[in-house]
Structures are given as structure tokens and as C-alpha cells.
Chain A
């Protein structure tokens, strides 16, 4: 606090050199006091103070330096404060009637402002008054600091507040840029910065909040650094204090300007302003500001906004790799996985950080969601596994899990059966070894279940589904769906329905869409068409009600993309009516579906099926071909065209065979494709091949779920 005891304190007035009336040389290391052209040592004064003789010390100063009572007291207080004797400083300050001094000051300064006297005279009196004002304000400020050091925080805050109140009264239009003495400005800035801290330390949070706003919204003529410090402290307070006091008052609001309406908005605004100040070079960069902003924006899921902020970051603020990584996380968090992957590729380049685990894992995860990226994902995952050692050894299981997912995805587009089954079994092996490391990770059990199900290992899939529901306490809809679909693949439809009903019981209305759709399909599988139509009707009503009641801010379903849309319901109904040969009803439903989604391969396919079943071969073909133009890899249409062509004579058989083989390449477990391929082989006289195909078809049909496993997310 105080520089060492032996140090001499020199008190000198702002103007005037000290003449040779002193006992001591002007040596800064020796204690000396000079004022009004006179210097004196502080030894005697200090002795008197130490004895508790404030008045004697005061008169010594008054006599020695020709000071008035208040000036002497203010100097004494400052001396004591600097010596670390805050209690004594308080006693000294208590001797002056600060309030009265403030009032005098207000009068003298207040009178000057509207004065019509000559400008030069006005300015000089103003300078004298300002000097006197500062003397008093500085004393109150030091009183507040002394009280703070004694832990009397509320009193300290009140003293500090009185400094600001006085300044506000004296300068009713804000502190002018020029015209203000440096010392006074310094005291004001100190007080502005100290007040909210004092309230905060005193636990008076709403007072702290107003003090911060007062600091930032009034004209105190603060310098950039001081203003930035207060803005940062306020942002931290808003972000973490958990005290919600309400938005700034209407008085500070301007037409059309943005007014934050809660803590989080105000904090984010301040942090953004601070970031901009750094870029403009107005204040020194403070890396913690970006961290606070990152936390604030990620917690409210606004990582797309964070990405924009990171894009604006100037060179030199962050290392480029850190920036790429943060950007990739932000973009991925905002669902922009492709851009995220581009950045990860840069940061994983061999000249950058090719072994960074977080980047490898995120890249592998993004790749695992896209069949065409899956092979890249495999490489990232393998690198992640290879680098999971030391303090990162615990991430090995995550790498294995990603490897399994990527391999499973890759298997879907592999060109040969051999390759596919190799990839699938590797995927299972990898996921299996992950489970040994990732104990208690229920997501992994689910993923393993899906993998088994797609591999048609239904018993294992069933085990995983049950285990997942147990582990999550039935809290995840996707667990219920997996269980029901696996049961349906085992042709245990009524059990699947029981599971679906149980799931519906555990689900609130707005989340029920996918379950109801599955229920309708289960009814169809049991030839309970009327029930199925009823279920669809209910689903339709739900979807329509949902569309109306969902504002843009409605509650999000458990899985964002899992909303059933009206189109899907109409299309499902059309297919149902078509299977019952209710052509008119089917046509109406299809029309409704078409109104909601004009170009859809699915709708065209249903249309084609309806034509085909009514014997309109050309129409069926043209609808299917149109569908393929929209979606060249749309399997059901390839099968439909193949089936139609196979009935058009032996010349068409090779074309049909090509189409069906193509369909099987894309979807090897499609039993319809196997069946029609078998028919082609039979018609062409390859009976053995035909038998193989029919066998595959019948086996697959017996393990066909009512909905594809890939519809579960």
C-alpha cells in the first residue's frame, strides 16, 4: 500500500517551483513537501499524526504551506492514505464537511456557466474552481477507497456515489472534452470505475447494475481503456451474476436504436462492441473477451453468429489453426457441416496440425453422416485412434465409434457384395470394441443396434434396442422406434404395436408424429386398413394443428428434423388407398400431396404404381422416368421400370436386368428388387439364378421392417 516507511512524500502544489526556503534539497528520494512556493519535510507532520494529533499536524501544514483548512485536511488525508493508515485517513477526512464544500463548489461553478462576463476571465475562474473542486472530490474518493479497504463497502459505495452525484450536478450537460483539468478527470474516471465494483463487492447487485449503466450511458469523458474495462466488467457481471434486473430505462433509449431487453443480450452487445474496439485499435486486445463471447453465444446455441464474429477476427488475434478449429466448431454447431469440414481439412493438413484429436473426431463425425464422405471419415477416425494416447487415451473409444459409423456408412455404397460384407463386419467389430471403452455411453448402444438391424442381425439389434431403452429410461423416442421397427422386421407386428403405444404414452402430443406414422404402417402390415386410415387421419389433424400453433418460436421436437409434414401424411394415405385399389381416394390424396410438394420422386412413383396396377403401362413408365430425372438414384422407380419392362417381351429383359441390378447395388436389401430380378432370370431361362434371387427376396421380406431403419434419427 504504502511505499516503504522511510520514503519521503513530497507534496507539491500544481503550480510554482519550490524556492530555497527548505531544509532539504529537491531530492525525490528524500521526504519533502512543497506548496505555494514553499517546501517542508513531512517527518514532523507524520510524528504528530502518529501521536493522534491531527489538528497539530493540520496547522503545521497550514502554516508551512499557506493552505486553508480544507486543503490541509485533504493533503493530510492523502498522506495518511498513501502511508497505508486508512483509519487515520478516515479520521482526517471526517474533519471536513464535504457536503458543504460540494455545495459551495456547485454554486461557484454553477454561477459561472450562464455568466455573460468576458470569456478569458470566465475560464481562469473556472480553472481555479476546478482545482478546488478536485481537491474536495479527490478527498471523498480517497475516503471511499479507505472505507473499501476497511471492508465497509456500502459506506464506501455511498461516498463514491456522492462524488459522481456532485460531478453530475456541476456538469449538468456532461463533462466537456476539453476545459477539464486532468486531475479532476482522473478522479472522476476512478470514481466511475470504482462505484459498480463497490456495490458488487457489497452484494448490492441491482445497485451495481445501475452503477454500470450510469458509468457507460452518461458522459464522463472516459478514456478508451477505462471505458473498455468497465464494459468488460459489466459484460461479465451480466453474463455470470445470475441477477436479472431488467432492461435499461426508457430514458436512455433512442428511436430505432437497439435496446437489449435482458442480461444476455446486453452482455453480448457489450462484448461485440469490445471486439470491434480491438479491431479498430482503440484499446489493447484482451483475449478473454473472445472467450466470454464464445461462451455466451454457444450457450444460447447461436454459433452461427459466433462464426461471423470469428470471421471478422483480425490476423494476430488468434493463431490461424485455433481460428479454423473454432470456426469449424461454430459452423458445425450451426448445422453447416460442409463448410466446417472444409476448415477442418485445412487445419488437419500435414503442415498444420494433422494429429489434432478434436479436429479428427469432428471431421470423422461429419463424414459419418454422408455416404460419399464416409471413406474420408474412416481415415480421420483411424488417425484419431492412432493419436489417442497419453492424457488423451480416454478418447480412443470415441475414435473407434466414429470408425465403426464411417465403415457402416461406407458399406452402403460399396460396389461389391464382398466389399460390403467386409466393411459391415469391420464396422460392427469397431463399434463393439468401442463399447468396451465407452462404458455407459448409451448413444453407442443405439448405433450398434442400428448397425445390427441394417445388417439384418435382428436378435442382436433387439438386444441393443432394449438395452438402449433401459439405459435412457425410455427418454429417447428413437429408442422406442428402433425397438418397434426391429420387432416389425421379425414380423412380430402386434408386439411392435404394443411398443409403439407405450412410446405414445411416454410422448407429448407434438412429438408423436413419427410414432403415429409407424403405427399406421404397422396396421397396414396387419391388413387392418381401416385402423390405418384412422391413424393417418389423426396424424393429419395433429400435423395441421401443429402447423397452426407452432409460431416461429414453438417448442422444438426432440429431434429437429423429425417433424412429420403434411405432405408425408397425404402421400402415405395415397399409397394406402392405392394398395386397396381405391383409385379415386388415392388420386385425391396424391393431389393434396402434390400441392404441398410439386416435384417429388415419391409422388411420381406412387402415381406410376397406380397406373401400372390399372394396366396403363405407358403412363406408369413416364411417371417413373420423370421421377428418375428428379432423383437419378431413386430405387423404387428403377424397380418399377424394371418390373414393367420385364413384362414387355424377351427383348426388354436385359434392360430390366440392368435396372434391377442397379437398384440392388444401391439398396442390396430391397426384396422387391430381388424378386423382380428373379422373374427376369426365370423368363430368360436361368432357373438356378432365379431360385437364388427368390430365396434372397423371401428371406429379406421376412426381415423387412415397416419403415427403413435409416428413418430413425
Chain B
């Protein structure tokens, strides 16, 4: 645990700064101002907005510009001012501005992981990822996240017959879903996947507030990461345009990366946004690619998870096409109405 974090302004546990509205407003404006110095063209409406943080988050033009910059070959180096901007924006401790940073986790993770193997200096990306990792480590106090797996022999709040727990009932099964976190001041190569994985975990925990564009981008990356995008020629729906800086992007996918990826994918496919056709299709294709990949790795957990998602996706698509989802909350429409 000798690692010295270079981030003195780490947020302590439970520390909730008392910020006034004007404070967050100012911070968001500052973020936009410093961004104008980096991006070639920024819509002036952004700086005049009443809700600057939210506008920044949802501005697809800004998102495209930033994504493009990240994909350029020289991005992510130590003097990359876009990375510096993300780092500073994340450290503003504004929840809304955190989202602005998290929105770019998919593209950062993708560019970073695909280049890490090339031994390129990526200190810019690493500073952002470490900032996020450090934040999560502090927020969790380094603790593991665990799960007590339910066991129906224990009575529970949803049991129909309310009876006292049997004294002889078995102990609940405890599962670690995210191991404990130790502080890291630098990215050691053997911890790289974990650090990126934690950033993805944080992305997932805020996913309901993340713009759909970022999720679609994430699904596109999943296809590239799987390295299986060309195995599936069934539909042109799954045709992915091979674009820009991320080529031959097949990644090593240890569980610490794959687990958060699958959770995010589950959300994209089955979450409240799944009515968005573009997102649903991107997620479905990503599932196909990752399922093929899990077969290549003969990874039982991944095979089970992706196969289930695929089946659920097919059922959902079937419902949408045949429009046979019954609305049980509709009243009976008959010729005979009785009160």
C-alpha cells in the first residue's frame, strides 16, 4: 500500500460539499470556457445556457468533436490538454460535471486499451482513469462490494406467507461482485484492466443519466473489442463501419473488464431506453459479437450471460415487430360497458 497518490485533492468518504446553485453554475461555465480553448468550434449557445452542465452533457456536437480528438493518433499523451480538461472537470466535484467526464469513458477505455499494447505513452488517459479510480476507491473506502444471494428457504419481504425464519436455515451465500480496491498512483500494467473496469463500473452506476449517444458508442466499441465483428454476416444491421484510430481492436477481456461491460450491455438492451431503436440494435449486435467472443474464449459465465441477453433481445424484438405486447392496464373495450 505504499503507493502515493499524486492527487492531493482526493475526495474523502462521505464528503458532500455544500455548494450553492451559483457555485455549480460558475464551475460549469468555467469548464465550458476552458473547453472553447481546446475545441475548434463550440456553439455559443452553450456558454449562454442556464443549465450549462446539462447542456454540455447532452450536446452531441461537443461529444463528436471530443470523440474525434481522442481517436486521433496523438491523443492521450502527457500534454494532451483535452485529458487535462477532463481531469480538471472531474475534480470539480460537481456531480453534473462528473457525468460529462463519465460520458467519455467508452471512448477513453477503447483508445487507451487498444494502444496500451503498443507501448505508447498514454499518461493523459491514465491521469483521467486514475482520477476516476481514486474517486471510487475513496467513495467505497476501498471496500469490496458484496451480495448476499437470496435463498428462498429464508423468509423475505416478498414471501407470501410471512413466517419467521427457520432457525435451521442455511447461511446466506455471500458473493463478491467487485473486489476491494487498493490505491494506485500509477497504472501498473497488471492492474490496467482493473482500473479501466472500475471506471466502467462507475459509468454503469450513473448510466441512467448518461446520454444515449454515449451508450450507442459503447455498444459499437464492444463489437470492436470482441474481435468477432466479421464473423456474423447475417444482417446488414450488424455491419459496423470500421472507423478511425481504433483498428484491430480485439482486447484481452478478463472478467474484471467483461463483468462491467456485460452489465452496461444489459442496460442498453433491456433498460428503460431500449425503446430507442438505434440503441437497441447497437446493443443487440454488441451482444452477438460478445457471445461469439465468449465461445472463442470458452468462458462459461460469459456464454451464459450473453446467450441470455441474446434470447431476451430476440423476444423483445419479436414483441416490437408483431406488436403483440398485451397492455394489461387497458380496460376491456367492449360493446357492453358496466360500472
Q: Does A240 contact B (CB under 8 A)?
A: yes
B206 neighbours in A (Cβ, 8 Å): 242
Contact indicator B331/A142 (Cβ below 8 Å): yes
Contact indicator A506/B304 (Cβ below 8 Å): no
A510 neighbours in B (Cβ, 8 Å): 182
Binding site for B on A (CB under 8 A): 1-3, 7-14, 28-29, 31, 71, 74-75, 78-79, 81-82, 131, 134-135, 138, 142, 145, 183, 190, 193-194, 197, 200, 203, 205, 216-217, 226, 229, 231, 236-237, 239-244, 248, 252-262, 264-265, 268-270, 272-273, 276, 288, 291-292, 294-295, 297-303, 305-306, 326, 329-330, 332-333, 340, 357-358, 361-362, 365, 391, 394-395, 397-398, 402, 438-443, 470-477, 505-511, 551-556, 558
B188 neighbours in A (Cβ, 8 Å): 505-508
Q: How many A-B residue pairs have CB under 8 A?
A: 294
Q: Which of B13-21, B25-33, B91-99, B155-163 contacts A (4 or more CB under 8 A)?
A: B155-163
Closest to A510 in B: B182
Residue count of chain B within 8 Å CB distance of chain A = 93
Using known A-B contacts A254-B157, A476-B252, A509-B1, determine if residue A269 contacts B150 with beta carbons closer than 8 Å: yes
CB of A397, distance to nearest CB on chain B (Å): 8
Contact indicator A276/B152 (Cβ below 8 Å): yes
Give the interface SS of chain A, mostly helix, strand, loop or mixed: helix
Q: Which of A326, A397, A553 has the most CB of B within 10 A?
A: A553
CB of A254, distance to nearest CB on chain B (Å): 7
Q: Indicate which residue in B152, B301, B309 contacts A333 across the interface (CB closer than 8 Å).
A: B301
Contact indicator A298/B304 (Cβ below 8 Å): yes
Known: A78-B339, A395-B296; 15 extra A-B contacts, CB below 8 A, are A10-B335, A28-B335, A135-B339, A183-B339, A239-B270, A257-B164, A297-B149, A299-B262, A303-B304, A441-B296, A473-B119, A475-B189, A476-B252, A509-B182, A552-B174
B117 neighbours in A (Cβ, 8 Å): 470-473
Q: Which of B42-50, B59-67, B140-148 contacts A (4 or more CB under 8 A)?
A: B140-148
CB of A440, distance to nearest CB on chain B (Å): 4
- Taken together as a complex, chains A and B put the C-alpha atoms of A397 and B255 apart, in Å, by 22
Q: Which of B154, B155, B301 has the most CB of A within 10 A?
A: B301
Contact indicator B175/A301 (Cβ below 8 Å): yes
B302 neighbours in A (Cβ, 8 Å): 298
Q: Does B305 contact A (CB under 8 A)?
A: yes
Q: Does B109 contact A (CB under 8 A)?
A: no
Closest to B316 in A: A288
Q: Does B37 contact A (CB under 8 A)?
A: no
Q: Which of B172, B208, B315 has the most CB of A within 10 A?
A: B208
- Taken together as a complex, chains A and B put the C-alpha atoms of A24 and B10 apart, in Å, by 81
Closest to B266 in A: A240
Using known A-B contacts A190-B329, A365-B298, determine if residue A292 contacts B164 with beta carbons closer than 8 Å: no
Contact indicator A269/B156 (Cβ below 8 Å): yes
Q: Which of A145, A193, A244, A506 has the most CB of B within 10 A?
A: A506
CB of A660, distance to nearest CB on chain B (Å): 39
Contact indicator B311/A291 (Cβ below 8 Å): yes
Contact indicator B301/A75 (Cβ below 8 Å): no
Contact indicator A242/B205 (Cβ below 8 Å): yes
- Taken together as a complex, chains A and B put the C-alpha atoms of A11 and B337 apart, in Å, by 5
Q: Does B204 contact A (CB under 8 A)?
A: yes
Contact indicator A264/B157 (Cβ below 8 Å): no
Contact indicator A257/B295 (Cβ below 8 Å): no
Q: Which of B150, B205, B297, B302 has the most CB of A within 10 A?
A: B150
Contact indicator A558/B190 (Cβ below 8 Å): yes
Contact indicator B339/A74 (Cβ below 8 Å): yes
Contact indicator A330/B147 (Cβ below 8 Å): no
Q: Which of B69-77, B80-88, B226-234, B238-246 contacts A (4 or more CB under 8 A)?
A: B226-234
Contact indicator A242/B335 (Cβ below 8 Å): no
Contact indicator B311/A556 (Cβ below 8 Å): no
Contact indicator A229/B165 (Cβ below 8 Å): no
Using known A-B contacts A255-B164, A265-B150, A511-B190, determine if residue A12 contacts B337 with beta carbons closer than 8 Å: yes
